[in-house]
Amino acid sequence: MHTRRTPRRARTAAGLLAAALLIAGCSSGGTETTASSSAQEAAALAPLPGPTPAALAPYYGQKPAWRDCGAPGFQCATLKAPRDYAAPSAGDVRLAVARKKATGPGKRLGSLLVNPGGPGGSAIAYLQGYAGIGYPAGVRARYDMVAVDPRGVARSEPVECLDGREMDAYTRTDVTPDDTKETNTLVTAYRRFAEGCGADAPELLRHVSTVEAARDMDIVRAALGDKKLNYVGASYGTFLGATYAGLFPQRAGRLVLDGAMDPSLPARRLNLEQTEGFDTAFTAFAKDCVRHGDCPLGGRGTAPGQVGKNLKAFFERLDARPIPTGDADGRRLTESLATMGVIAAMYDEGAWEQLREALTAAMKDKDGAGLLVLSDSYYERDAKGEYSNLMFANAAVNCLDLPPAFDSPDEVRRALPDFEKASPVFGEGLAWASLNCAYWPVRATGEAQRIEARGAAPIVVVGTTRDPATPYRWAEALAGQLDSARLLTYEGDGHTAYGRGSACIDSAINTYLLEGTPPTDGKRCS
């Protein structure tokens, strides 16, 4: 998805978007419950009737007209889906699809759809930048590697909200307001963002839900000529894949859900638990940082809690006085940009050295360039000051999938103790970031619900024990809901597990994809 990165970073950039899912996403109000009780209380997603409705037959009968699309070895096509499945005659959505045909040798196993997460990540960019060239050769030999950008994302009628200059201002907005004036400034920023999205795509904005994107995938499956959907989804892509299985359990083929989400949780709880996940990842980073002589947050033996206090104090200094970055557009490093830079590096332990260097430059030399680079990579801002539609689609999907976490700043203030307990470093900012859907121009159409997918073939659910963005408990919860799930655990750091260096994980998933044999439920790898 983030094709500007090195191959190793591209593998985990799918995960980078999960933070956007909840940091920039919306949350559901209601009582604070445990994950297990939430799953028990949530209704189950009901499967759709097996036969294809007559009104949808023209969509299911499409044949893609493949064409070259700029990347050697890849072909592209456009398919149509009804904008509103309840009223198929009311208009279409154009879906961008790309593939790289199976290279052989070996019997072709059909298509393997991939999705890198988000919501808002471009599946086509992920396919062309990593999956279509970096997935194991055996998998690429026997599957046509396929990606479809979900509706509202990247090449599939992308939602747009702000221009580059407006997004620069938005990303610098203080999300730890100290008084009424700063609170009003933050609320105004959320309102302007929402108004921009509403003005750009007033009709589409009502129809970019995960359920609709999952139904689109079934149209793509049919157009590809596959009886069942084979799929690898990361981060939010696990929610999309699980939703597909819940709606079409009999059409679910070999599904890998890596970095799993728990669909039974209301979004406030999702945000709170993700906040805990970032704290877990930061603790691991803090322990590693102080082992190095160049750690600017503490010397050898400094406790993680003190490392966090030192970072929080640095953020507070930036809140009062941003520092230069050398940016061509004159941007200075604010508290919000620095925080996002640190969060971005939590997704992959391979970025920890880069983060140490960036923090050293900022804290000791008042040079914020390194942290700005990390923040820009998270937001997908290019050197020309233009942003992808990642954050726009992210909010559009999240604000439709679940009711808003908080309806007012007062509700955020009341929740601050819980969020700050979950993460003394990030909790305050992540709580306030959960307010944005309160001002969304479209009411949510979804709700938290269990996904059981009774009757589906075995589904592999993958969780990483110190995952920052999709806490391990979510993988346990999803595996507990899916009727045919096999839980595969990676004991380690970073977001997602497949293709991140564990031969044990990769072997288990490759065997499943190529032979159809899932790992033993509860298998653990390191």
Rounded to a whole number, what is the distance in angstroms from the first to the last CA of the chain?
25
pLDDT at 267: 87
Nearest to 215 by CA among 148, 153, 160: 148
Structure tokens at 414: 């009341």
Q: Which residues of the chain fall short of a pLDDT of 50?
A: 1-36
User: CA 51, CA 67: separation in Å to the nearest integer?
Assistant: 31
pLDDT at 37: 52
pLDDT at 38: 55
> C-alpha dihedral over 363, 364, 368, 373, to 10 degrees?
-90
Report CA torsion sign: 240, 242, 23, 116.
Answer: negative
> C-alpha dihedral over 495, 499, 505, 506, to 10 degrees?
160
Positions annotated as catalytic residues are: 235, 467, 495
Strands (DSSP E) along 420-522, which ranges? 449-450, 459-466, 485-493
> C-alpha dihedral over 225, 228, 230, 231, to 10 degrees?
100
Maximum C-alpha span of the chain: 68
Task: Please give the distance of CA 59 from its chain centroid, rounded to a whole number.
Answer: 28
Report CA torsion sign: 21, 27, 32, 35.
Answer: negative
For residue 489, the cross-strand partners are 463, 524
Backbone angles phi, psi at 162, to 5 degrees: -135, 150
Structure tokens at 390: 């990642």
Query: SS3 string of 335-356?
Result: HHHHHHHHHHHCCCHHHHHHHH
Give the helix, strand, coil percentages of the chain, each rounded to 5: 50, 15, 40
Q: Are 234 and 258 in contact (CB under 8 A)?
A: yes
pLDDT at 23: 34
Report CA torsion sign: 220, 223, 224, 229.
Answer: positive
pLDDT at 201: 85
User: CA 27, CA 491: separation in Å to the nearest integer?
Assistant: 28
Q: Are 417 and 44 in contact (CB under 8 A)?
A: no
Query: What pTM was computed for the model?
Result: 0.93
pLDDT at 50: 87
Nearest to 230 by CA among 144, 147, 336, 111: 111
